[in-house]
Amino acid sequence: MPTLASLNLGPIEFLSPVWLLLIPLLGGLSVWMARRSLSGLASATKVVALVIRVVVIAALAGAMAEPQFRKVSEDVAVNAVIDASRSVPADLQQQVEVFIADAAAEGKENNDRLGTITVAKDAIVQSLPSRAVTGVDRRFVGGTDGTDLASGIQLALATNPRDAAARVLLFSDGLETSGSLLQAAEAAKAAGVPIDVMPLRYRYDNEVIVDRVVTAGTAREGETINIRVVATATKPATGRLVILENGVPLDLDPSGEGQGVAVSLNAGTNVLQVPAPVYGRGAHEYKAVFEADRSAGGLLIDQIVENNTGTSVTFVSGEGRVLVLRNMATEIDQSADLVAALQEAGIRSEVTSPDRADLTVKGLAGFDAVLMVNQDAYSYSYEAQEALRQYVHDTGGGLVMVGGDTSFGAGGWIGSPLEDALPIRLDPPQKRQMPRGALALVIHSVEVPQGTYWGKKICEAAVGALSRLDYVGIVEYGWQAGVDWTLPMQLKGDGTAAQAAISKLVFGDMPDFDPSLELALKGLLATDAGQRHVIVISDGDPNLGTAVLKKYQDNNVTISAVGVNPHSAGDVRTLQRMATYTKGEYYEVKNSELATLPEIFMKEAVTVRRSLIQEGEFQPVMVAGVETLRGIAAVPPLMGYVVAAEREGLAQVTLRGKENDPVGAQWQYGLGRSVTFTSDATTRWARAWVGWGQYGQFWEQTVRWAMRPSGSPNVRVTTEARDEKTLVVVEAVDEQGRRLPTAVFQGRMATPDGEGAAVDLRQVGPGRFEALIDTPDSGTYVMSMRYSAPPTVEGGPVTEGSVQAAVVKPFADEFRALEDNASLLTQVAEITGGRVLEADARTAELWSREGLEMPVATRAIWLPVALAGIGLFLTDVAVRRVRLDVVRAYYAMRRGLRQSKEKAGMQLEGLQAARAQARERMAGAASAQSQDRDVSRPTGTVQPRPEGVAKRKFEATEEQLRVAKGGKVALGGEAETEEQAKRRQAEQARPAGEEEQGMSRLLKAKQRAREEMKDE
């Protein structure tokens, strides 16, 4: 019944204090009543009884008032949020660390706690608030080219201890590139946490910023374009401007020394123009770098170098080009026949290997199609696979994937981002009967920075490369269960079980390889797999026996060992022994090569995937009415292919193999098209094809179908940066140079975060189209626009084509600011009731209790209070019913103790004697029973009470009180009769030794009561 606010009485708080009103009310009432009801008691007993009664009432009323015990904390916890972004000069960051270390040493109470959080692109807890923390111990701070101060504050609020008064201390220049510090400050205010701020003040007086580089979005081959560099200088400055075209410096001043040209900048905005001819089709990246001269005193007139570069991309249109990716390491050029066929068809191609190609969206955008010949997934980084997917989906490029023994599912592409772009599913059809593979991962430590992250990544890569029909299991050493399956050996299926298990991995410290290898082998042998393989990842220091390796050898199960930073040559030998003994591979990975780890795992996992290869001659079945097979009546037989499944939806199968497997398939994916051919293009599987008359025609038609329509030199794109957005302007003219009155554009943009976004072009005039696109992050945005326009003259051709453009944001906004933004920090302090500390502030102020709300821990105590009340209530009864003689109690206890000591040696004889004595006494007591009487025993309790004589058991009537003056009265009973009085006197005269105790006395009393009742 919380009708009143809570009430604090010292350390006790009452949540419903209204119940306390019962204390005076009922207390007064019982005092008033006690005057009558307790009058029969001795005065001291009366007072005690009354006090107890009032206390009982107080306790019960107090319990109902919901009392809580409050403990107020005396400790302060300071969470220091340190801006670690690149905009804060290094010397200021140093000062912050010194300040915090001083603060930890001075003015801090023993149990005060210090925590540190760094904030740049992400907020990261460096040390949780603790009394042991004595400074800043920066470990991983994440990316420093951005500042999200708000997330730093949020993290501080989340990690503040609850048993200490919290304060947040923010060290920053006040420049944020994401998040909202003011919103976070409001949250801190709501949480009652003041944010003290220490502005890190600076101002760059000598600074040059390359704002942007502007080039035409598109150009024709051989054309000279204008590279415009827009630079801002705070003071007049001199230096050199260097322009790099695709990484190669342009010789801007053939007469001068070195690369680049000397320039002088005025204070304010400067525009520098450099003409450059463009040769070669595709994307041309122009990077402008300003190198400032030193002043006369040797000082750099430019302080931040990160903001001295700018980049722009120009796409040079020309004849269509295809990038052919093949494995250069193999002796036989598997792409030779294909490339020859393309050349014959007039399609220009560039043949290279994946490690040499520029597999970025920007690099790929210069090609109209990519032809992958028997490529495995582990030769491609995740980013490259994603770029290829984006290249097709968002920039409209074509993809032709040609098979071989290390391609498609047998090449580890299952689960890769590029699989999404293919017109087939790389997992075999669900109902297909085929040999399965079984893979067990044995996971030990991954002793590298962010080891857990990498460990999980590699497990994902390995499991991802398996098909749904393969078995997979993961064994690791857990700190709770020891060696056990984290993922029991099972069919991969959709991979969700594996994914869940991977997320639970703990990378325990395994002392011994043997139990894990035994368990893995047991799991593998229990499957019906044709190929069984184990991958072990470890630093190599667990023990390894030979017996277990022998078992692997006997069962033909291979182990590949991946050593991550092995501690010594001995560890390397352990892992090597494991691999060589079982005919597996050994890999050693150092910190600098971590990115290769997932690829190794993928490659190793694929060793169980050889079963996807189907060899043996078959006649492919052609599907009628397909554009890529136009003019081809029949195809020769093939000798093998990689099994895959049909993809539902718009994908079209063009050639079918055994059991209707899709050998040839094609579809439109986003803006681009992709084609798969799961057999190969060499004499291994396509022996009959290479000599086939229509071989060239087949591949020309296939590649041309996939290729992006060639760009028109008559469509020009320019881009212009507008803060966080970019304006894209497309100007389109027809063959005769007339502006296109209307055109339909379908545009997409590949963004740096790997996502795609639509580009909506709006016509703003004849032949002029514009779009304002979001370009908030630094990186490259590649746009691709397909267009079609009706003929400008009746009967003329429809204008169709595509055009690419790119926007490059070279550096983060972090580096644009030339001075701090202390006013934002002041605002934050004002909102939260914090203080603005300057660099010379006394460190002791950090621990000041002023303005802090000390947290209170409460514990409900109604139950003990209620129990105490009830206990006292029983005492209340006892006080009036039982008379306690303390002095006699003491003597009795003493005597008892003495006797027990005396008896200690008596043992059995003593016990027997006591027993005999007791028997005698009982016999004697039985004979004396009829006369037995005990004065202290309340006779009334066994007598029926006459009506109206006493209201309560324990209250005396007036009559009893009156009689009491002359003789003793048994409380609650009738007045003593004359006969009873005589009997009592006789009893009192009897020697004390004859008194009876215990049950016998009780029985006697009972018998007596019965007699008395009969008398009545």
Partner 1 sequence: MGDRRTSPAREDFARVLGPVTRAGLVRALAGAAAVAGGVAWLAGCEEAPKEAAPLPVERVLGERGTFPGQFAYPRAIDFDGRDLWVIDKEARVQQIDPETGFAGVWWRMPEQELGKPTGVTVAPAAGPDGSLVPALYVADTHYHRVLVYALPGERPEKPREIEPVLLASFGSAGTEPGQFVYPTDVEVLLDAGGDGVERIYVSEYGGNDRVSVFDGGYRFLFSFGVLGEGLDPGALEFSRPQAMAIDRERGELIIADACNHRLGRFSLDGALLGWVGMPGAGSGGGAGGGAGVRLDFPYSVALLGDSTVLVTEFGGARLRRVDPRTGVSLGVFGIAGRGEGELATPWAAVVDGRVTYVLDSGNNRVVVTELAGVVGAGRGDAERGQH
Q: Using the minimum distance from each CB to partner 1, give the nearer residue, 660 or 917.
A: 917
Which residue in the block uniquely carries the two structure tokens 């190609």? 357
Report whether 241 contacts 285 (CB < 8 A).
no
Q: Alpha-carbon distance 825 to 839, whole Å?
A: 14
Regarding 452 and contact with partner 1 (CB under 8 A), the answer is no
Q: Which stretch binds partner 1 (CB under 8 A): 276-284, 615-623, 701-709, 997-1005?
A: 997-1005
Angle, helix 513-525 to helix 547-554, in steps of 10 degrees:
20
Regarding 450 and contact with partner 1 (CB under 8 A), the answer is no
Q: Using the minimum distance from each CB to partner 1, give the nearer residue, 285 or 876.
A: 876
Q: Using the minimum distance from each CB to partner 1, give the nearer residue, 510 or 782.
A: 510
Written as one letter, the residue type at 684 is R
Q: Alpha-carbon distance 978 to 955, whole Å?
A: 22
Minimum CB–partner distance for residue 99 and partner 1 (Å):
17
Report whether 199 contacts 172 (CB < 8 A).
yes
Q: Using the minimum distance from each CB to partner 1, give the nearer residue, 177 or 538.
A: 538
* Secondary structure of 620-667 in HEC code, one letter for each residue: CEECCCCHHHCCCCCCCCEEEEECCEECCCCCEEEEECHHHCEEEEEE
Q: Using the minimum distance from each CB to partner 1, give the nearer residue, 129 or 417.
A: 129
Written as one letter, the residue type at 880 is R
Q: Alpha-carbon distance 802 to 807, whole Å?
A: 17
Q: Using the minimum distance from each CB to partner 1, give the nearer residue, 74 or 994.
A: 994
Q: Among 183, 266, 503, 899, which residue interacts with partner 1 (rule: CB under 8 A)?
A: 899
Q: Among 8, 94, 130, 1007, which residue interacts with partner 1 (rule: CB under 8 A)?
A: 130
Q: Which stretch binds partner 1 (CB under 8 A): 213-221, 460-468, 910-918, 953-961?
A: 910-918
- CB hemisphere CA count around 710 (13 angstroms): 15
Regarding 134 and contact with partner 1 (CB under 8 A), the answer is yes
Regarding 554 and contact with partner 1 (CB under 8 A), the answer is no
* Residues within window 87-106 making contact with partner 1, judged by CB under 8 A: 105
Regarding 1000 and contact with partner 1 (CB under 8 A), the answer is yes
Regarding 568 and contact with partner 1 (CB under 8 A), the answer is yes
Regarding 917 and contact with partner 1 (CB under 8 A), the answer is yes
Regarding 987 and contact with partner 1 (CB under 8 A), the answer is no
The site that binds partner 1 (CB under 8 A) totals a number of residues, namely: 69
Cα 430 → chain centroid = 34
Q: Among 997, 1007, 1010, 1013, which residue interacts with partner 1 (rule: CB under 8 A)?
A: 997
Q: Alpha-carbon distance 779 to 752, whole Å?
A: 5
Regarding 906 and contact with partner 1 (CB under 8 A), the answer is no
Regarding 509 and contact with partner 1 (CB under 8 A), the answer is yes
Report whether 531 contacts 608 (CB < 8 A).
yes
Q: Among 133, 759, 808, 825, which residue interacts with partner 1 (rule: CB under 8 A)?
A: 133
Q: Using the minimum distance from each CB to partner 1, give the nearer residue, 515 or 776.
A: 515
Regarding 5 and contact with partner 1 (CB under 8 A), the answer is no
Q: In the 8-state DSSP scheme, what is residue 194?
A: -
Q: Among 273, 900, 907, 927, which residue interacts with partner 1 (rule: CB under 8 A)?
A: 900
Minimum CB–partner distance for residue 289 and partner 1 (Å):
37
Which residue in the block uniquely carries the two structure tokens 């060290």? 171
- Contacts of 867 by beta carbon, 8 Å cutoff, 6+ apart: none
Q: Using the minimum distance from each CB to partner 1, give the nearer residue, 798 or 887.
A: 887
Report whether 222 contacts 277 (CB < 8 A).
yes
Q: Among 451, 495, 515, 752, which residue interacts with partner 1 (rule: CB under 8 A)?
A: 515
Q: Among 127, 374, 390, 674, which residue interacts with partner 1 (rule: CB under 8 A)?
A: 127
Q: Which stretch binds partner 1 (CB under 8 A): 304-312, 396-404, 659-667, 893-901?
A: 893-901
- Contacts of 264 by beta carbon, 8 Å cutoff, 6+ apart: 236, 237, 238
Cα Rg for the chain, rounded, in angstroms?
Answer: 46
**Hey, is 756 helix, strand or coil?**
strand
Regarding 948 and contact with partner 1 (CB under 8 A), the answer is no
Minimum CB–partner distance for residue 514 and partner 1 (Å):
5
Q: Using the minimum distance from each CB to partner 1, give the nearer residue, 450 or 917.
A: 917
Let me know how long the chain is.
1016
117 forms beta bridges with 81, 125
User: Phi, psi (5° rounding) for residue 125?
Assistant: -75, 120
Element (H, E) at 918: helix 907-927
Regarding 885 and contact with partner 1 (CB under 8 A), the answer is yes
Regarding 891 and contact with partner 1 (CB under 8 A), the answer is yes
Q: Which stretch binds partner 1 (CB under 8 A): 73-81, 360-368, 390-398, 505-513?
A: 505-513
User: Phi, psi (5° rounding) for residue 812?
Assistant: -75, 160
Q: What are the CA-CA distances from residue 67 to residues 18, 57, 71, 548, 867 (Å)?
A: 12, 15, 13, 66, 13
- Contacts of 315 by beta carbon, 8 Å cutoff, 6+ apart: 217, 218, 219, 282, 283, 284, 365, 366, 711, 717, 803, 804, 805, 806
Minimum CB–partner distance for residue 614 and partner 1 (Å):
40
Classify each residue of 806-824 as buried b or exposed e, where b means 16 or more C-beta atoms within 10 Å of its C-beta.
Answer: bbbbbbbbbbbbbebbbeb
Regarding 128 and contact with partner 1 (CB under 8 A), the answer is yes
Minimum CB–partner distance for residue 351 and partner 1 (Å):
44
Q: Alpha-carbon distance 635 to 693, whole Å?
A: 10
Q: Among 142, 752, 776, 938, which residue interacts with partner 1 (rule: CB under 8 A)?
A: 938
Q: Alpha-carbon distance 291 to 729, whole Å?
A: 32
104-108's contacts with Cβ under 8 Å and 24+ in sequence apart are 104/133, 104/134, 104/135, 105/134, 105/843, 106/843, 106/844, 107/842, 107/843, 107/844, 107/845, 107/846, 107/847, 108/846, 108/847
Q: Among 257, 479, 633, 648, which residue interacts with partner 1 (rule: CB under 8 A)?
A: 479
Q: What are the CA-CA distances from residue 984 to residues 88, 353, 1013 (Å)?
A: 102, 122, 18
**Structure tokens that stand for 94 in this block:** 């140093």
Minimum CB–partner distance for residue 961 and partner 1 (Å):
22
Q: Alpha-carbon distance 103 to 508, whole Å?
A: 38
Report whether 591 contacts 447 (CB < 8 A).
no
Regarding 140 and contact with partner 1 (CB under 8 A), the answer is no
Regarding 914 and contact with partner 1 (CB under 8 A), the answer is yes
Q: Using the minimum distance from each CB to partner 1, give the nearer residue, 130 or 503.
A: 130
Q: Which stretch binds partner 1 (CB under 8 A): 34-42, 304-312, 480-488, 818-826?
A: 480-488
Regarding 512 and contact with partner 1 (CB under 8 A), the answer is yes
Regarding 888 and contact with partner 1 (CB under 8 A), the answer is yes
Regarding 132 and contact with partner 1 (CB under 8 A), the answer is yes
* Residues within window 523-552 making contact with partner 1, judged by CB under 8 A: 541, 543, 545, 547-548
Report whether 814 contacts 145 (CB < 8 A).
yes
Minimum CB–partner distance for residue 554 and partner 1 (Å):
16
Minimum CB–partner distance for residue 723 and partner 1 (Å):
42
Regarding 882 and contact with partner 1 (CB under 8 A), the answer is yes
Q: Which stretch binds partner 1 (CB under 8 A): 46-54, 329-337, 946-954, 996-1004?
A: 996-1004
Q: Among 915, 951, 968, 1010, which residue interacts with partner 1 (rule: CB under 8 A)?
A: 915
Binding site for partner 1 (CB under 8 A): 105, 127-128, 130-135, 137, 139, 479-484, 508-509, 511-512, 514-516, 518-519, 541, 543, 545, 547-548, 567-568, 570-571, 573-574, 882-885, 888-889, 891-893, 895-897, 899-900, 914-915, 917-918, 921-922, 934, 936-938, 995-1002
